[in-house]
A and B are shown apart, each in its own frame.
Chain A
Amino acid sequence: MTTSDPPAGVAIVEIPLSLRSLVGGAARLEVAGATVKEVIDRLVAERPELRRWLLTPGGQIRSSVHLFLNEEDIRNLSRESTPVRPGDVLAIVPAIAGGAPKRRISANRSRRARAAPRAGLTAEQLERYSRHLLLPEVGLDGQRRLLDARVLVIGTGGLGSPCATYLAAAGVGEIGLVDFDRVERSNLQRQLLFSTSDVGRPKVEAARDRLEGINPDVIIRTYAVRLTSKNARSILAPYDVVIDGTDNFATRYLVNDACVLWEKPNVYGSIYRFEGQVSLFDARRGPCYRCLYPEPPPPDAVPSCAEAGVLGVLPGIVGTLQAAEALKVILGRGRPLYGRLLLFDALALEFREFRLRKNPNCVLCGPRATQRRLIDYPAFCGETPTPRSDEPEAIDPVRLSAWLRSEDPPLLIDVREPTEWAINHLPGARLIPGSRIEERLQELAAHRSVVLYCKTGGRSREAAARLQRWGVRRVRHLKGGIDAWCREVDPAMPRY
């Protein structure tokens, strides 16, 4: 930006990158003129090489040239006769347009051709959305808003399934689905988007088929990728509202930070065993997730659903609440959950609500925010394996199986809960739930070698580290848990 004051009657014209090579690389030129048209005419007179890009042969400003005077589109002002005052900044912006050669007549038109019309509703839509149209809070205008809205659902698991289902049924025009997982049998207990026949399919594909079946008005975009700091911006960009249906802290912090940086409402939901949380984060209106939890818990401190289990209907309730909040945000109705955290306890059947305040020290949305870009979230959440001195040694299933069949097998301890043990356990193992392992220290220390296992490897690693701190040596744990054992050693073993 030119810092010295321009001479009187002179405007600053910003040259687009596209044309800079024609003016010796200059980003800004000072040009005199009383109106926009005069400035452009003078510019072209001084720099004839710009003429064909800016003016028609007849001397009119080309329709492919858009002009912004002090950041305001001149089409909203007095167009080319808009007066220009000294020091005003006139930006030339290329209009980007084009198209296919000619209209094709294609028999293969997909049903997307019937995508939601921008104005008015079809007879079919009037019928489909009649229960919305009856509500004064929704009505025709609200339904149009829904049909024009774009919502990104991150994770199509327990939370994303019910949420996306209701959004699609409600006629949210575009729904993006981000998930790189495939459907597993253990998902079917709560993820109602999927059928038994979907096991093994990419989740986003199965979800798209199901959602398009519910409502062909809706455009489903699928992203069968892991959301990362690299792709987050391009994935989030087109959407109005983001649903956080993730199951891990790294992605949850990533979603929050991306939503703060690019100003998207973030409908947060999380579940653990019988308890759920819901809130609506929008740093422009209230706190963000980091205001609430500035730092993630240490890895393994909070087991995932895959480790700890979850009541099947719980994500149904929480995901549905997320859908309700998203619809309210789109409709601009009701009292959205900004600045409030809703806790739901399915065992007690209790809803409780907490007020959340913006954290003045929040690194992301506070007044002295220091973080202005996405970071390495797996590292932030301690998920990147950092070799520590007290890191217990892991053993893979195949090696363990050979060792168990040897003459000097290790003592095998199952650190899961009795309910899990009842479903499956390794032959020859003893059950000592992780929380009670200290009570059996002597017994364990008496053995030459001990191997701990759990479902996926998180709890056993943590328990092994504890045993080491108590002085039990030669403690190993089964890498990947009994799940890995099922995959690699005994596929016939029942799984959960």
Chain B
Amino acid sequence: MRGEYPEEACGYLFGPRAISEGVARPIVEARPAENEETEGRDIRYRISSAEIYRIEAEAEDQPIGLVGFYHSHPDGPGRASRRDERLAWPWYTYLILSVDDGGVRDWGAYTLSVSRGSFVPIDCRVSPEGPVGPDPGRDRFEGPGR
């Protein structure tokens, strides 16, 4: 996360896929992705569809798989932007982190409500026994689906 600053960092969130909405969805791993955006990388991010396709195909029958995405807002708020919401897909968890050159300052998690067509904030907390990983993965985020 700090490594990309002041550009946006982004990546995948992995967790149990079978969990239905309305239940706490643990995120067991956060894995960085390449920001494919070529311009305005400080305010835009785009994750390779080919990579998502590959990850999805690999995890087809696995209990743990891709359940969402994270990205950073460098020097920006830990809340979803209009653009984040407009481009969001249902079901996934979107984790948005506010970072400055000192690291992660704030975050918010959302899921898209299909009926309302808008983001619904979800509770998000860091569980202390989470796995260790690079910046975003250092903590483990959990939130109820609704």
Contact = CB atoms under 8 A, between A and B. Distances in A.
B89 A98 contact: no
Given A18-B89, A225-B132, A97 B45 contact: yes
A98 B87 contact: yes
B43 A110 contact: no
Nearest to A231: B133
Contacts of B47: 95-97
A100 B42 contact: yes
Contact of B31 (A64, A98, A234): A234
Contacts of A493: none
Given A21-B90, A106-B6, A225-B132, A101 B76 contact: yes
A220 interface: yes
A112 B5 contact: yes
A328 interface: no
B100 interface: yes
B6 A94 contact: no
A97 B44 contact: yes
Interface in A121-135: none
A95 B49 contact: yes
Given A68-B53, A95-B49, A231 B132 contact: yes
Nearest to B14: A234
A315 B91 CA distance: 51
A308 B6 CA distance: 45
Contacts of B80: 98
Interface string B129-142: 00111110110000
Interface in A195-241: 219-221, 223, 225-226, 228, 230-231, 233-235, 237-238
Contacts of A220: 3
Contacts of A93: 49-50, 52-53, 56
Interface in B83-128: 83-84, 87-92, 94, 100-101, 114, 117
B73 A100 contact: yes
A53 interface: yes
A76 to B, nearest CB: 10
B76 to A, nearest CB: 4
Given A66-B49, A234-B137, A237-B32, A100 B90 contact: no
Contact of B89 (A53, A176, A234, A235): A53
A97 B37 contact: yes
Interface string A268-282: 000000000000000
A98 B131 contact: no
Contacts of A233: 29, 31
Contact of A99 (B38, B81, B134): B81
Contacts of A234: 29-32, 133-134, 137
A96 B46 contact: yes
A180 to B, nearest CB: 9
Interface in A59-111: 64, 66, 68, 71, 73, 91, 93-104, 106, 108-110
Contacts of B45: 97-99
Contacts of A223: 134
B69 A96 contact: yes
B135 to A, nearest CB: 8
B40 interface: yes
Contact of B81 (A100, A174, A230): A100
B85 to A, nearest CB: 8
B3 A219 contact: yes
A99 B56 contact: no
Contacts of A441: none
A109 B137 contact: no
A233 B64 CA distance: 14
B83 A226 contact: no
A96 B52 contact: yes
Contact of A238 (B34, B53, B82): B34
B77 interface: yes
Given A97-B47, A103-B43, A18 B5 contact: no
A384 to B, nearest CB: 19
Interface in B33-85: 34, 37-38, 40, 42-47, 49-50, 52-53, 56, 65-66, 69, 71, 73-77, 80-84
Contacts of B34: 238
A19 interface: yes
A118 B38 contact: yes
A205 to B, nearest CB: 12
Contacts of B146: none
A230 B29 CA distance: 9
A16 interface: yes
A97 to B, nearest CB: 4
A94 B52 contact: yes
Interface of A: 16-22, 52-53, 64, 66, 68, 71, 73, 91, 93-104, 106, 108-110, 112-113, 115, 118, 174, 176, 219-221, 223, 225-226, 228, 230-231, 233-235, 237-238
Given A96-B10, A238-B32, 12 more contacts: A17-B91, A18-B91, A19-B91, A22-B114, A66-B53, A93-B50, A95-B49, A96-B47, A96-B52, A98-B45, A103-B40, A234-B29
9 contacts: A19-B90, A52-B117, A99-B73, A106-B6, A106-B75, A219-B3, A221-B2, A231-B131, A234-B137
Closest 7 CB pairs of A and B: A66-B49, A98-B84, A221-B3, A100-B76, A99-B44, A100-B73, A97-B46
